[in-house]
Chains A and B, each alone.
Chain A
Amino acid sequence: EVQLVETGGGLVQPGRSLKLSCVASGFTFNNYWMSWTRQAPGKGLEWVASITNSGGSTYYPDSVKGRFTISRDNAQNTLYLQMNSLRSEDTATYYCTRRVPFDYWGQGVMVTVSS
């Protein structure tokens, strides 16, 4: 059974950093692109970052480019999202997803950016 479990969320002050993790199981992790998608409270879905299966290429929308970094450890079956210079508008539930289209989603982890 495919499982994606996100951790690392919480309350953080504006301008600070936070790193999310997503542990994958039930499939061969290094065969798949992985992504992060977020959803602000009461709002729609916003794609945040993607990484190729080898980790050699990454993709970001302008809203997070230069502040967020997606990475992966294929030996540990783990996906990461390093978030720097956090803003109030980054407050959201962050989901880890597999491949494109996003065929499996984690349960999500909440990130709140507030002073």
Chain B
Amino acid sequence: NIVLTQSPATLSVTPGESVSLSCRASQSISTSIHWYQQKSNESPRLLIKYASQSISGIPSRFSGSGSGTDFTLSINRVESEDFSIYYCQQSYSSLYTFGAGTKLELK
């Protein structure tokens, strides 16, 4: 199975800062990585697909990059509504796996 390792586990920031969240795959997965945001007591929502493709309705401050084994979700100028948990997921294998998540919290 493909293992996804997210880092850091927790990221403490102040609104207005720009941040990068990392997701590393245990083997090369091309660009078959997707990012989700989950706010407290809500269902997750898709933020970015296939490493860097934007999703309709998602603010432009969210962007993704990477290929192979190393991927990054970037948030340009964090806003208060962005404090939540972020998960990466791979679809290179039909045995889909998620990373453990990165919690973005208020500093």
Q: How many residues of A contact B (CB 8 A)?
A: 18
The answer to whether residues A47 and B45 also contact, given A101-B89, A101-B91 and a CB cut-off of 8 A, is: no
Interface mask (B66-107 → A, CB under 8 Å = 1, otherwise 0): 000000000000000000000101010011111111000000
Which residues of B11-60 are within 8 A (CB) of A?
34, 36, 38, 43-46, 49-50, 55
Instruction: Determine if A107 and B100 form an interchain contact, defined as CB atoms under 8 angstroms apart.
Output: no
Instruction: Determine if B46 and A102 form an interchain contact, defined as CB atoms under 8 angstroms apart.
Output: yes
Task: Determine whether A11 belongs to the interface, using a CB cutoff of 8 Å to chain B.
Answer: no
- Please report whether the interface of chain B is mostly helix, strand, loop or mixed according to DSSP: loop
A-B contacts counted at CB < 8 A amount to 52
* 5 cross-chain pairs, A with B, having the tightest CB-CB distances, nearest first: A101-B34, A105-B43, A47-B96, A45-B98, A101-B49
Instruction: Determine if A61 and B46 form an interchain contact, defined as CB atoms under 8 angstroms apart.
Output: no
Contact residues in B for A103 (Cβ distance below 8 Å): 46, 49, 55
- Please report whether the interface of chain A is mostly helix, strand, loop or mixed according to DSSP: loop
Contact residues in B for A106 (Cβ distance below 8 Å): 43
Complex-state Cα separation, A59 to B101, whole angstroms: 23
Instruction: Determine if B94 and A59 form an interchain contact, defined as CB atoms under 8 angstroms apart.
Output: yes
